[in-house]
Chain A
Amino acid sequence: MNIDRRRFLALTGIGALAACDAQMPTTAPPPSTSAPSTSTSALVVEPVDLAQAAAADRVLVVVQLGGGNDGLNTLVPVSGRYHDLRPTLGLNDDTLIPVPGTTAYGLHPAFAPMAGLLTTNNVAMVEGIGYPAPSRSHFVALDTWWSASTTASTTGWLGRYLDVSGGTAENPMRAIALGSGSPALLGQTSRPTVVLSPQSFAVKSPNSADLLRAWEVIGGRPALSAVAALKVFDELRVTSSAASYSDDEDAGAISRGLRTAGDLIAAQRGAQIIYVSVGGFDTHAGQAASHQALLADLATGIASLFDRLDAVGLSHTVTLMTVSEFGRRAAENGSGTDHGKAGMQFVVGPNVAGGVYGDADLSKLADGDLAAGIDTRCLYADALGWLGVSSDEVLARQFAPLGLIRPSTR
């Protein structure tokens, strides 16, 4: 099927009979009765507690680094081979930020703002992650990351999670996409509320109550969801004294998105999955400066989010992860890097067992790219465990989590 057609179908939700890996149960699974496990075995999934999940006691924040983040200049393998591949873009070993527990890697200096989170070992770095039979196409790779399926799918992995755990009809705030909407959040029935800017998410009319009632009739389901979300945001703007809601021109897109995410979590209105989409990581040229700025934005945004959540006593409820469609070519192209395959992702939060998972073996490149040693769906299995479901409910089959999120300490 033509890729544009696939994208269209995914976004409209039509063509629901197209091949989809996942066999989805129509009802939520019974809660597990087993005691919380302290086992470190990778195959043990956290106990299911949908009641907690529904109350948004466990929030997942996903940051999509659109364009394909250069993993090798994010978490840098300390080796001579790295410098051979990156004669101009290579970062000096002595400028790298140390990573607890290993001398084989160091972080890009832009991660200085995350020193506190690194010290408390709450930053997991998943190195060499991707899909089998990866594509260097942005759109094929994005489809795969969104759907968690290597064949055409009309639903996203988080959308299917929403479907099996109560859906979004009752609370349109449950899944929120900031920036552009993400197909990862589309289920068979579940839909995210998509917000470009909280400030502009309001209807400007003196007769808005009548107008919105009529719009619900005319616009059908999408209008109903939009009106429900409008009501919550109207209330938030009025009642949340801590809410920043400002479009700070100086802050980067990631920091602004994560600031809004913090507002939504602090407001405790049942926001459970917050998906922040940003672009700019397609660094084919002039990478040194632009990548530095993007990573600094990411590091500042993450550190500020957890500072904010610490201040209101909610950090323990939140885990953040990054996704990106691919890593970049191991060898630079002069001033940047072209599309590659495996990359690296972060998982951050007080419940995260920090450190480097997997590896970036530059002696075993495949067609010039880092090969994936960790399947993306294993990372998703950790996230799904955090949210209270087993991976086989959402993915095609059971995937062993990496074990990087500890059972909640509350």
Chain B
Amino acid sequence: MRVSIAGMDERRRIARLHRRVGLGLLGGELDAAVGRGVAAEVARLADPAAAGVAPAADPFDGLDLSFEQGAVRQKNRSAVEAWMTAMAQSGWPVADRFTWFWHGLLVSSIGKVKAPDAMANQIRLFRRATNFGELIADLSIDPAMLTYLDGKDSVKGSPNENYGRELLELFTLGVGHFTEADVVATATALTGWVVAVRAGGNAVLRPKLHDSTPQTLLGRTGVNDVAGVVAAVLAHPECAAFVARQYLVATVGPAVDEPTVNTLAASFRASGFSLAVLTRGALDLIASGVDGGPVILGPVPWLVLAERATGARLSAQARLLGLEAAGQVPFAPPNVGGWAEGGAWFASAVMVGRLNLALAVAKATPPSSPAMQAVMRGDWGALSVALGLPDDLGPTTTAGLGQVRDSFSRLALALVSPEFVEA
């Protein structure tokens, strides 16, 4: 990990704040942000309300997403499109990027859940969460999660281990910090929560299906309900570090060091697992010049950053088909581990998919936008600023850009350049 205090200039830190923790700057905003200074930018990102930004609206407001009324595929598309639009137009970029982070960590998928309203409700749960303990408690009886990881089929005498295992392995502690007996104890304590997700219902505890035998979980005795499971998990010393590490890897960078993780974990734990401690922690670290190496943007955050930087407004069809070919569609992570991040985004198919999506963005970019103006002039320095990059595009990229004549190709290539893709 590189730490530079004096060497990293204001622009670089500000661009990184927006690109790694937020959703990127709007085209042409970088100069103004640099003028305000890094401290002011952290404050604005941490609390947009203080800067006069109205509270964020529910992205799914007004949509009929019920499974029962049919046309489920179309409804799912509408929900995904509404969420993408909300991110592209977000006045609360840190909160919205944080919601996206949770979707990739606390995974459910429409492929198994089938009901778009349940998926939307899970995203709403992520959006309103302020405390990790409450988030995990709500998630444990969330209809989409009860369906995706089979909690709804876990009953007294036949505990289903699917959710219990992934809660411990993927959501809160990680491999090596729990035993097989802890998996069974978690599953047993959570038995009896049933839901008919496709009927739009909430989860209900059926006492006859619940095994209330006290379990020993992670060394804590007497655990036989949701609150007990959450308390045992939060009390485990690894929990705060696990969550802090996941978030810092996604923001400060994949090579973030353990002392940095542990320092933030201690504050997180001391705060009673306040989620604002995590986002503020990442903002402060980046603002002070801490860098864990490039964060490779997955297609969804990358597309949001690209739309915001260029002012492009893609059609719902172009967005969805493009994201599918680029390998990342909201609501549809490939498995319970979420999307494979990092170098997986350099696989041939998804790179080609992303190039096609970049061409669609370029074609939907208004001619008056600063990025398109810079491209038409062949002014690569101005293009770098318009795209909100921490540094100017490097010589390899500008050499490549110089080889093509048409503006659409130029802009698309800039958007798939390492400088833009690696935040």
Q: Which residue in chain A gives the minimum CB-CB distance to B153?
A: A285
Point out the residues of chain A lying under 8 angstroms from B340, CB to CB. Answer: 7, 11, 180-181
Q: Is the CB of A214 within 8 A of B175?
A: no
Is B418 interfacial (CB 8 A cutoff)?
A: yes
Report the separation of the CA atoms of residues A11 and B342 in the bound assembly, to the nearest whole angstrom. Answer: 7
Q: Is the CB of B404 within 8 A of A137?
A: no
Q: Is the CB of B327 within 8 A of A334?
A: no
Which of B157, B175, B346, B409 contacts A137 (CB under 8 A)? B175
Is B230 interfacial (CB 8 A cutoff)?
A: no
Report the separation of the CA atoms of residues A83 and B399 in the bound assembly, to the nearest whole angstrom. Answer: 68
Q: Beta-carbon contacts of B139-180 to A below 8 Å, as 1s and 0s?
A: 000000000011011010111111001000110001100001
Q: Is the CB of B153 within 8 A of A202?
A: no
Which of A139, A140, A201, A219 contacts B416 (CB under 8 A)? A219
Point out the residues of chain B lying under 8 angstroms from A286, CB to CB. Answer: 153
Point out the residues of chain A lying under 8 angstroms from B327, CB to CB. Answer: 180, 196
Q: Is the CB of B351 within 8 A of A8?
A: no
Min CB distance, A184 to chain B, in Å? Answer: 13
Which of B352, B412, B413 contacts A201 (CB under 8 A)? B352
Is B403 interfacial (CB 8 A cutoff)?
A: yes
What are the nearest 10 A-B pairs in CB distance? A12-B343, A334-B158, A217-B400, A218-B400, A194-B347, A285-B153, A226-B348, A284-B162, A222-B346, A285-B150
Point out the residues of chain B lying under 8 angstroms from A216, CB to CB. Answer: 400
Q: Is the CB of A333 within 8 A of B160?
A: yes
In the complex, identify which listed stretch (B7-15, B301-309, B353-361, B381-389) lies at the interface while the others stay far away. Answer: B353-361
- Given contacts A12-B342, A12-B343, A217 and B396 within 8 Å (CB-CB): yes
Is B227 interfacial (CB 8 A cutoff)?
A: no
Q: Which residue in chain A gives the minimum CB-CB distance to B343?
A: A12
Is A322 interfacial (CB 8 A cutoff)?
A: no
Q: Is the CB of A219 within 8 A of B406?
A: no
Which of A136, A180, A213 contacts B165 (CB under 8 A)? A136
Min CB distance, A104 to chain B, in Å? Answer: 29
Is B203 interfacial (CB 8 A cutoff)?
A: no
Report the separation of the CA atoms of residues A225 and B350 in the bound assembly, to the nearest whole angstrom. Answer: 12
Most buried by B among A195, A218, A225: A218
Q: Beta-carbon contacts of B216-245 to A below 8 Å, as 1s and 0s?
A: 000000000000000000000000000001
Q: Is the CB of B162 within 8 A of A282?
A: yes
Q: Which B residues, 386 to 423, have Cβ-Cβ distances below 8 Å to chain A? A: 396-397, 399-401, 403-406, 408-409, 412-413, 416-418
Q: Which residue in chain A gives the minimum CB-CB distance to B397?
A: A218
Is B298 interfacial (CB 8 A cutoff)?
A: no
Is A339 interfacial (CB 8 A cutoff)?
A: yes
Is A205 interfacial (CB 8 A cutoff)?
A: yes
Min CB distance, A363 to chain B, in Å? Answer: 21
Q: Which A residues, 1 to 17, have Cβ-Cβ distances below 8 Å to chain B? A: 2-5, 7-8, 11-14
Q: Is the CB of A214 within 8 A of B400?
A: yes
- Given contacts A136-B180, A207-B409, A333 and B158 within 8 Å (CB-CB): yes
Min CB distance, B356 to chain A, in Å? Answer: 6
Q: Which B residues, 336 to 378, have Cβ-Cβ distances below 8 Å to chain A? A: 336-337, 340-344, 346-353, 355-356, 359
Point out the residues of chain A lying under 8 angstroms from B180, CB to CB. Answer: 136, 367
Point out the residues of chain A lying under 8 angstroms from B343, CB to CB. Answer: 8, 11-14
New contact pairs (10) apart from A194-B350, A211-B355, CB-CB < 8 Å? A11-B340, A12-B343, A140-B175, A181-B340, A192-B347, A196-B327, A204-B356, A222-B348, A225-B348, A333-B158
Is B335 interfacial (CB 8 A cutoff)?
A: yes
Q: Which residue in chain A gives the minimum CB-CB distance to B406?
A: A207
6 sample A-B contacts, Cβ–Cβ < 8 Å, listed by A number:
A181-B340, A196-B327, A200-B325, A201-B348, A205-B408, A285-B150
Point out the residues of chain A lying under 8 angstroms from B336, CB to CB. Answer: 138, 282
Is A193 interfacial (CB 8 A cutoff)?
A: yes
Q: Is the CB of B334 within 8 A of A229?
A: no
Min CB distance, A45 to chain B, in Å? Answer: 32
Q: Is the CB of A194 within 8 A of B153?
A: no
Point out the residues of chain B lying under 8 angstroms from A12, CB to CB. Answer: 342-343
Q: Is the CB of A333 within 8 A of B161?
A: yes
Point out the residues of chain A lying under 8 angstroms from B344, CB to CB. Answer: 11, 181
Q: Beta-carbon contacts of A52-77 to B below 8 Å, as 1s and 0s?
A: 00000000000000110000000000
Q: Which residue in chain B gives the minimum CB-CB distance to A331?
A: B158
Is A336 interfacial (CB 8 A cutoff)?
A: yes
Chain A interface residue bracket vs B: 35 or more
Is B249 interfacial (CB 8 A cutoff)?
A: yes
Q: Which residue in chain B gives the minimum CB-CB distance to A204?
A: B356
- Given contacts A196-B325, A336-B160, A229 and B348 within 8 Å (CB-CB): yes
Q: Which residue in chain B gives the minimum CB-CB distance to A195?
A: B349
Min CB distance, A270 to chain B, in Å? Answer: 16
Q: Which residue in chain B gives the minimum CB-CB distance to A334?
A: B158
Q: Is the CB of B348 within 8 A of A211?
A: no
The count of chain B contact residues (Cβ–Cβ below 8 Å) is: 60
Is B246 interfacial (CB 8 A cutoff)?
A: yes
Q: Which A residues, 267 to 318, have Cβ-Cβ distances below 8 Å to chain B? A: 279, 282, 284-286
Q: Is the CB of A180 within 8 A of B334?
A: yes
Is B27 interfacial (CB 8 A cutoff)?
A: no
Q: Is the CB of B409 within 8 A of A210?
A: yes
Q: Which residue in chain A gives the minimum CB-CB distance to B184?
A: A338
Q: Which residue in chain B gives the minimum CB-CB distance to A14?
A: B343
Is A18 interfacial (CB 8 A cutoff)?
A: no
Q: Is the CB of B409 within 8 A of A196?
A: no
Q: Which residue in chain B gives the minimum CB-CB distance to A172?
A: B348
- Given contacts A3-B175, A201-B349, A214 and B359 within 8 Å (CB-CB): no
- Given contacts A11-B344, A139-B337, A334-B160, A214 and B355 within 8 Å (CB-CB): no
Report the separation of the CA atoms of residues A324 and B290 in the bound assembly, to the nearest whole angstrom. Answer: 41
Point out the residues of chain A lying under 8 angstroms from B413, CB to CB. Answer: 211, 214-215, 218
Is A220 interfacial (CB 8 A cutoff)?
A: yes
Point out the residues of chain B lying under 8 angstroms from A4, CB to CB. Answer: 174, 246, 249
Most buried by B among A7, A226, A367: A226
Min CB distance, A16 to chain B, in Å? Answer: 12
- Given contacts A211-B404, A217-B403, A339-B161, A223 and B351 within 8 Å (CB-CB): yes
Is B254 interfacial (CB 8 A cutoff)?
A: yes
Q: Is the CB of B349 within 8 A of A8?
A: no
Q: Which residue in chain A gives the minimum CB-CB distance to B245?
A: A2
Most buried by A among B348, B397, B413: B348
Report the separation of the CA atoms of residues A41 and B82 in the bound assembly, to the nearest whole angstrom. Answer: 63
Q: Beta-carbon contacts of A317-336 to B below 8 Å, as 1s and 0s?
A: 00000000000000001111
Min CB distance, B384 to chain A, in Å? Answer: 14
Q: Is the CB of B153 within 8 A of A214?
A: no
Point out the residues of chain B lying under 8 angstroms from A284, CB to CB. Answer: 149-150, 153, 160-162
Report the separation of the CA atoms of residues A135 and B174 in the bound assembly, to the nearest whole angstrom. Answer: 13
Q: Beta-carbon contacts of B269-305 to A below 8 Å, as 1s and 0s?
A: 0000000000000000000000000000000000000
Report the separation of the CA atoms of residues A225 and B347 in the bound assembly, to the nearest whole angstrom. Answer: 9
Most buried by A among B157, B175, B417, B418: B175
Report the separation of the CA atoms of residues A2 and B337 in the bound assembly, to the nearest whole angstrom. Answer: 14
Which of B162, B254, B404 contacts A207 (CB under 8 A)? B404
Which of B335, B351, B356 contacts A219 (CB under 8 A)? B351
Q: Is the CB of A214 within 8 A of B403?
A: yes
Is A352 interfacial (CB 8 A cutoff)?
A: no
Q: Beta-carbon contacts of A224-259 to B below 8 Å, as 1s and 0s?
A: 011001100000000000000000000000000000
Report the separation of the CA atoms of residues A200 and B326 in the bound assembly, to the nearest whole angstrom. Answer: 10
Point out the residues of chain B lying under 8 angstroms from A194, CB to CB. Answer: 347-350
